[in-house]
A and B are shown apart, each in its own frame.
Chain A
Amino acid sequence: MSDYAIDTIDLIKKYGSRVAVNQLNLKVKVGEIHGFLGPNGAGKSTTIKMLVGLLKPTSGSIKILEQDAAGDKPHIRQRMGYLSELPSYPQHLSGNELLDVYGRMYGMSKKSRKQRIPELIEEVGLEGRGKDRIGGYSKGMQQRIGLAQAMINDPEMLILDEPSIGLDPVGMVEMRKLVKGIAKSGTTIFFSSHLLSEVTQICDSITIMNKGITVASGSLNEVSALSKNRRIVVEVDKVSNKTLQSLQNLKLAKVEMKGKTYTIHLDQNKKDVRSIVSQAITNSGGVIVEMHEEGKGLEDAFLDLLEMKS
């Protein structure tokens, strides 16, 4: 049995001569929340559309929940839910009616629909608005009903494409809480977002794409550590050439001195060198006033990776 809920091998999508997705090998483990990041035009939406069957790959394979999922595969979609970016639903239907129609498409019985729909409406924060027409919903409410329809079948895997778009800050917090709650029940969540802070807060692992290719993939810590500008900034009571020499002898990437501050560049050195840095300063007669590490966050890694691979 495979550990992966999503497993693509050399997935390629071309539009004429333009390659939108190039040899993508995406691995999403069962039960995790996996963030999917990349700038506009990176190929995220094209990848997601191939995963849900809206686009046919030019070549390569897609396995979802261990089954071949390339093309029109209704039996795979039976086991997953999908919320598209800026979703659009029949405006003449009410929220309840929409969920009822989609529930029927999943083959749910009348009894289970009757039970599930009010639960979902409440869960996504639309209580009291289920009977209103979707045409009268705000953007945020449409996003919420979109999330409800994606969960109507209690899916094994949920694909969310920019789920926070259109939500106010409170809605974003609620969305994150909801997604975390769903994941606790064992549902695999594949989550595309532009918001790095959001991804940092809820994802177990991430994949970063740029210009159709994967530039990084792994746990949040692994990817964050790929930042090439990791540095330790140390403020001392007084600077001396002896301290500078001691720090340079550590043979880390580069040491700079400015005022009472030493900046020790680590680049992609993943080791925790804080203790040897502090020891070198102390032994050379310096007194540390403050020491902290910079450039180790996901944002730094993200920007560095895009720059490196472009």
Chain B
Amino acid sequence: MVGVLILAFLIVTLLAVVPWLIAEYTNAPFDKDPLFVIDNVSTMAGGFTMFLFAVAVGMNMVSGEFESQTIIPLLTKPISRNLVILAKITAGLITVVAAYIFLAGYIIIAGFLIYGPQELLHLLPLGFSGAVVATFVWLSLAVFFSSVFKSSNIAVMGSLGTFIGLIMVGTVLASFGQPLILLYTPGDGAIGISGGCDSLSGMGSGIRTGTNELGRLLVEWVQEPDRIIDICGMSFGNGPPSAIQLSSDSISTVALRSLAVGLTYMITFFAIGWFAFRRAQITD
């Protein structure tokens, strides 16, 4: 966990310092980003950081007790298995929130020092909450593997495999112009744009629609409630490939769908993990 926190601090440092360093060395004008803090707090410096936090907390949440054999004294105390799993998930939530408070503090300090005055700071709690929920989607996956297979190694490999697999599948689907299914998977989701698919002029204001971006989507919803997000695909019919509109939703729909998808996966994975733990037979 401490290692992941150090890595996250490193990632934030790079995100904050590298653009400034490039500007310094190329003598290009440094573009001060007033949204650096809200953007990075809402995603905790990116989906991979959230994934790492989730796996670090969830990988041995259940399996660790089995691997170290401490499950025997634990389950022979007068507390139900339901309470044990609930306590562990609550402890996971507290750990993630505590780590994110440290990280958010560092992002705020780095943002003000390097990028100057920041905007939308009143939306930080919303973005922060979105990032915690997004992390919990991955954490539920790690707990699922940890509880079902009772192995921390399988929990890490299974979670990492799912994370990488979703990125690869997402890239392939997006390349073949079929990104809509990504609206219903955990992770980065599909890329949505504002301004229509014809000219793809809105690419500059693109936003990812997945659970990883929940914090940012919620912030965007409050900030620009009338914004429309289009998901574009490619048509490979007669003639050269052309962009077509696959869906067009308001930012509220996109944000709520991302929240619903995240909660659905979270509840499903936690429920399976809970069920496996309840039925676990302690043989050795």
Contact = CB atoms under 8 A, between A and B. Distances in A.
Interface of A: 15, 46, 49, 52-56, 72, 74-75, 77-78, 82, 84, 87-91, 102, 105-107, 146, 149
B283 to A, nearest CB: 7
A55 B282 contact: yes
A224 to B, nearest CB: 32
Contact of A54 (B70, B78, B281): B281
A67 B82 CA distance: 21
Given A54-B282, A55-B282, A56-B281, A74 B78 contact: yes
B281 A87 contact: no
Contacts of B72: 54, 84, 87-88
A84 B73 CA distance: 8
A87 B73 contact: yes
B68 A88 contact: yes
A72 B277 CA distance: 12
Which secondary structure dominates chain A's binding surface?
Answer: loop
Given A54-B75, A54-B282, A55-B281, 7 more contacts: A15-B283, A49-B282, A54-B76, A74-B80, A82-B73, A88-B68, A146-B73
Nearest to A153: B78
15 contacts: A15-B283, A46-B283, A55-B281, A55-B283, A74-B78, A74-B79, A77-B78, A88-B70, A88-B72, A88-B73, A89-B70, A102-B73, A105-B79, A106-B77, A107-B78
B65 to A, nearest CB: 9
Contacts of A49: 282-283
Contacts of A78: 78
Contacts of B278: 72
Interface residues of B, number: 16
A72 B85 CA distance: 14
Contacts of B81: 72
Interface in B50-76: 68-70, 72-73, 75-76
A53 B283 contact: no
Q: What 6 pairs across the A-B complex have the smallest Cβ distances?
A: A88-B69, A78-B78, A54-B282, A105-B77, A74-B78, A77-B78
Interface in B257-284: 278, 281-283
A102 B77 contact: yes
A75 B78 contact: yes
Contacts of B77: 74, 77, 102, 105-106
Contacts of B73: 82, 84, 87-89, 102, 146, 149
From B70, B73, B75, name the one whose CB has the most chain A CB atoms within 10 angstroms.
B73
A109 to B, nearest CB: 15
Contacts of A53: 75-76
B63 to A, nearest CB: 14
A46 B75 CA distance: 15
A91 to B, nearest CB: 8
Interface string B225-247: 00000000000000000000000
Contacts of A149: 73
A83 to B, nearest CB: 9
A74 B83 CA distance: 10
A82 B77 CA distance: 9
B257 to A, nearest CB: 38
B78 A105 contact: yes
B80 A106 contact: no
B76 A52 contact: yes
B188 to A, nearest CB: 37
A59 B80 CA distance: 22
A15 B282 CA distance: 12
B282 A72 contact: no
B87 to A, nearest CB: 10
A149 B72 CA distance: 12
A74 to B, nearest CB: 4
B283 A72 contact: no
B272 to A, nearest CB: 18
A75 B282 CA distance: 19
Given A88-B69, A88-B70, A89-B70, A72 B80 contact: yes
A106 B76 CA distance: 11
Contacts of B70: 88-90
A95 B245 CA distance: 65
A46 B79 CA distance: 21
Interface centre among A52, A105, A107, A149 (most CB of B within 10 A): A105
A84 B282 CA distance: 12
Nearest to B281: A55
A131 to B, nearest CB: 20
Given A55-B282, A56-B281, A106 B69 contact: no
Contacts of A89: 70, 73
Contacts of B80: 72, 74
A49 B79 CA distance: 16
A87 B72 CA distance: 8
A74 B78 CA distance: 4
A105 B278 CA distance: 18
B283 A77 contact: no
Nearest to A85: B72
A78 B76 CA distance: 9
A46 B283 CA distance: 7
A107 B77 CA distance: 10
